[in-house]
Amino acid sequence: MPAPHGPRRRARIAFSDSAAKQLDSITSEAELHALDRALVVVSVDPEAGDPIPGDSTGPRLRQYVDDVERVRLLYWVSALGTVVVVAFIEV
């Protein structure tokens, strides 16, 4: 049975300036592959990560951790859920 609103679209991934610098410093093919897998997870399901407690003055940060691939992402999701902005990368 088809989904009532059609297939779910992936959110677009964007990087903060600091995350872009972190991305530029990754040279290992294995680390890039692990990061790519984590980015796919949050683009398909932006709520995959856990909310980080904080106040309501800024964007609501989430943390996605993949213990197998050893990747940690801090990110926030746009109001419509169409863009995931990655603020911090740890591989």
Give the pLDDT confidence of 6-54 residue by residue, as tens digits.
Answer: 566 889 999 999 999 999 999 999 999 999 999 999 999 999 999 998 8
Task: Compute the chain's Rg from CA coordinates.
Answer: 14
Residue 59 has pLDDT above 90, yes or no: no
The pTM of this model reads 0.84
pLDDT at 1: 46
Helix (H) or strand (E) holding 18: helix 17-25
Residue 67 has pLDDT above 50, yes or no: yes
